């Protein structure tokens, strides 16, 4: 994280990816979000996600459905595609996380990675 804070301009917003391999070695990637569109349409994926899957409770590199459906969605002109669980609750996007602000509080969907942004 020191690498990120040293190399990033505080007024920008960044996407940060921290990966841990099976040997316990961390890798760090970061990129600015300045060119990411702020408005657009969203598509709902027809495939329902299994909320009891361990791979849906944590970020993982098992992304085949996210990458495939996200690419299709963006090629059709959408900003992102949203995934629903078997209860038809919105869980996450292929390249985005869902936050709802009510008053001064932020909420995320149940059964997904809970904290993905430090500052709002």
Q: Does residue 87 share a domain with residue 55? A: yes
Strands (E), 1-120: 14-20, 26-32, 42-44, 80-84, 90-93, 100-102, 105-107
In this structure, the answer to whether residues 32 and 90 fall within a common structural domain is no
Beta strands 26-32 and 42-44 are: unpaired
Residues 32 and 80 in one domain: no
| Paired residues of 15 in beta bridges | 31
93 — pLDDT class (breaks 50, 70, 90) = very high
Q: What percent of the chain shows pLDDT beyond 70? A: 79
How many domains are contained in the chain? 2
Tell whether the torsion through CA atoms of 13, 90, 86 and 77 is positive or negative: negative
| CATH label of the domain that carries residue 75 | 3.20.10.10
Range of the domain at 52: 37-120
Q: What is the torsional sign of CA 115, 110, 64, 46?
A: negative
Shared domain check, 28 and 67: no
Q: Is the pLDDT of residue 54 over 80?
A: no
Q: Are residues 55 and 91 in the same domain?
A: yes
pLDDT bracket for residue 9 (50, 70, 90): low
Please check the confidence at residue 6 and state whether its pLDDT lies above 50. Answer: yes
- Taking Cα atoms as reference points, which of 36, 43, 37 lies closest to residue 73? 43
Shared domain for 55 and 31, answered yes or no, is: no
């Amino acid at each position: 994280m020191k690498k990120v804070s040293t190399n990033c301009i505080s007024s920008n917003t960044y996407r940060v990816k921290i990966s841990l391999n099976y040997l316990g070695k961390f890798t760090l990637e970061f990129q600015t979000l300045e060119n990411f569109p702020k408005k657009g349409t969203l598509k709902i994926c027809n495939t329902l996600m299994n909320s009891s899957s361990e791979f849906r409770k944590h970020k993982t590199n098992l992304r085949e459905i996210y990458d495939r459906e996200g690419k299709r969605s963006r090629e059709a002109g959408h900003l992102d595609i949203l995934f629903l669980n078997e209860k038809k609750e919105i869980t996450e996007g292929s390249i985005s996380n869902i936050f709802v602000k009510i008053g001064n509080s932020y909420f995320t969907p149940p059964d997904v990675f809970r904290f993905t942004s430090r500052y709002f």
